[in-house]
Chains A and B, each alone.
Chain A
Amino acid sequence: MATPRPIRSMDPYAQAFWAYTQKKEFRLQQCSECHKFRWPPGPSCDHCLSDQCAWALMKGRGTVLSWTTLHRAYFPEYPAPHTSIVLELDEGPLFVSYPVGIDAATLREGMVLTLQWTDGEDTFGPYHLPVFGPVAA
């Protein structure tokens, strides 16, 4: 069994996002008319209201914008301490994840982290979770 994780927020658009993760593809919606990327997934573009979009493959690279370490275990699946990060993806959107292969004390603003995959499972089934770590030397 894959690693249990707190339940995902699911709607038809989120389902598409998570379906791509089954193939370890990190894709976000991009408006077909004005080309704005959006996250979280949704029915229309917040810039031009077009409902036409493509699921664009992200480079999987971002810079660290901020982070926090939870010292209280809010979820049984995530014992404390647990660190969360906010990345600014190269394509523009901000993306919340957690860091792997790096200690919270050594995180720095603007540090480049790249996509890795880890496993997850909730009541919607097993999936792959996009997480981020230092660029391999």
Chain B
Amino acid sequence: MAAIFDRKRLAPLKDTVAIVGVGETDYGADYRGAGGKAMAKGEARYDSYTLASRALKRALDDAGLKKDDIDGLCTGPTLSGERASELWGLNPRWSGSGDAAQGIIEAAMAIHCGLCTTVALVYGNAQRSMDTAYGGARVTGGGITSYFYYAPWGLTSQGALYALFFQRHKLLYGTTEEQLGAIAVAFRKHACLNPNAVMYGKPITIDDYMNAKYVAEPLRLYDYCLINDGGVAIIVRRADMAKDLKHKPVMVSGFGWSEENVDATQLRPRLKDFYHTAHHGVAQQMYPMAGVTPKDVDVFATYDSFSVHLLAALEGFGFCKEGEGGAFVQNGRIEIGGELPCNTSGGMLSESYMQSWNHQPELVRQLRGGLGARQVQGAEVAQYVHDVAGKCKSIIYTKGA
């Protein structure tokens, strides 16, 4: 398929919007509950709107803005836009729904067009309280997806699909399970520097990783993300209105979007391509728009419902060659203090499974600076990679003035 994006039209959107406020709920405290133990699944204490509302209030406070400053709204997939607007007393002039990266890109487009100036992106998910199932008989959907299509043969869950992905990577490149383990260990180390993380205070070693049980072999327990309740909000504002607020703005300097859905149910893009066609499509748009290359990225985050995502993203965006992801993630390279610190909050594996949303506040704070032991020194360029089964977007954030 021909690349038809127009670099000349994309380029002027560089730095036209900024992130001016971020907020999230108390992931760790909510997970552990009053007794200090992990809350049981299905023990409803909140709904998704409770968590989203809390995050929105905190993001507005963080920005130093009032609710009435918001004229655009993008909600995560668990919320109804109408109910959320009603709940928060908003009559938006633009609204959307999607993942965090989609929300940021679409907010930039809406602001650029003049439809609105200040967009609240809000997510809430009481998935632990509601005992949401991501595999088995309770996973249902509107039609065909590989998520549940193969139930008659006993294959289910996104985890099993990423296990097939990693098995293929092992077969083609000789990547080892111990190499993959370095990812879960690094993210857990980062979570231990983040008091709000669900897994704060619970470090793991590579031996712990290797001794953990398989869920979908060759993936083990620690390759899987958490299931916890939480909410996140992000305030995106027109760049010329983003100065003189509480924090220095963080600029949205580049973005790209590319999906690889042909033969998705067959798992062809997953197993034959590791979704690299989508990664390359995004990279071709985003890096030139932002005027940076992978070498300029100081802090990196990827969607990580499974550890495997990092291998795919690093190889697909050119941080290493295809097949070399397993070697790349060794020896502290992806840890804070290493060459490319990845998922510095602990990510979805160890901070909070906010389905892309928790990564954005972390990158914003890394660029603001002042995170203490978790701070990536001198961070000026941050990249987020969103890749959910080949639906890929990525964003370059830079430190604003």
**Chain A residues in contact with chain B, CB under 8 A?**
5-9, 11, 39-40, 42, 46, 65-72, 74-75, 77-78, 81-82, 84, 86, 93-98, 109, 120, 122, 129, 131
Binds A, one of B40-48, B201-209, B258-266, B329-337: B258-266
Return the CB mask of B304-319 against A: 1 if under 8 Å, else 0: 0000000000000000
- The complex places the Cα of A129 from the Cα of B155 at a distance, in Å, of 14
Interface residues of B (CB under 8 A from A): 135-137, 143-144, 146, 148-157, 160, 163-165, 167-168, 171, 213-219, 262-263, 265-268, 271-272
CA distance A6 to B137 in the complex (A): 7
Are A66 and B135 closer than 8 Å at their CB atoms? Answer: no
Residues of chain A lying within 8 A (CB to CB) of residue B157: 70, 74
Q: How far does the alpha carbon of A120 sit from the alpha carbon of B150 in the complex, in Å?
A: 13
B160 touches A68 (CB 8 A): yes
Q: What are 24 pairs between A and B in contact, CB < 8 Å?
A: A5-B152, A5-B154, A6-B151, A6-B152, A7-B137, A7-B152, A9-B144, A40-B149, A46-B262, A66-B271, A68-B219, A69-B214, A70-B154, A70-B217, A71-B215, A74-B136, A74-B137, A74-B154, A75-B156, A77-B154, A97-B153, A98-B154, A129-B152, A129-B153
B164–A66 touching, CB < 8 Å = yes
Say whether A96 contacts B267, CB under 8 Å: yes
**What's the minimum C-beta distance from B254 to chain A, rounded to whole angstroms?**
31
Residues of the A chain whose Cβ atoms lie less than 8 Å from the Cβ of B150? 84, 96
Bound complex: CA A78 to CA B165 (Å): 22
Set of chain A residues within 8 Å of B151, measured between Cβ atoms: 5-9, 75
- Assembled-state Cα–Cα distance A9/B143 (Å): 7
Q: Which residues of B contact A8 (CB under 8 A)?
A: 151-152
Is the Cβ of A66 less than 8 Å from the Cβ of B167?
yes
| Minimum CB distance partner of A110 in chain B | B171
Q: What is the bound-complex CA distance between A122 and B152, given in angstroms?
A: 9
Q: Knowing A9-B143, A11-B143, A84-B153, say if A71 contacts B135 (CB, 8 Å).
A: no
Pair A68/B152 contact, Cβ less than 8 Å: no
Q: Roughly how many angstroms separate A65 CA and B271 CA in the complex, as a whole number?
A: 8
Contact present for A66 and B148 (CB under 8 Å): no
A107 nearest in chain B by CB position? B167
Inside 8 A of A74's CB, which chain B residues have their CB? 135-137, 154, 156-157
A82 to chain B, nearest CB (A): 5
In the complex, the answer to whether A94 meets B268 with C-beta atoms within 8 Å is yes
Please measure, in the bound complex, the distance between the C-alpha atom of A6 and the C-alpha atom of B157, giving whole angstroms.
13
Assess the A67–B167 pair: CB atoms within 8 A.
Answer: yes
User: How far, in Å, is B133 (CB) from chain A's closest CB?
Assistant: 9
A42: chain B residues at CB < 8 Å are 144
Give Cα distance in the complex from A97 to B156, angstroms.
Answer: 12
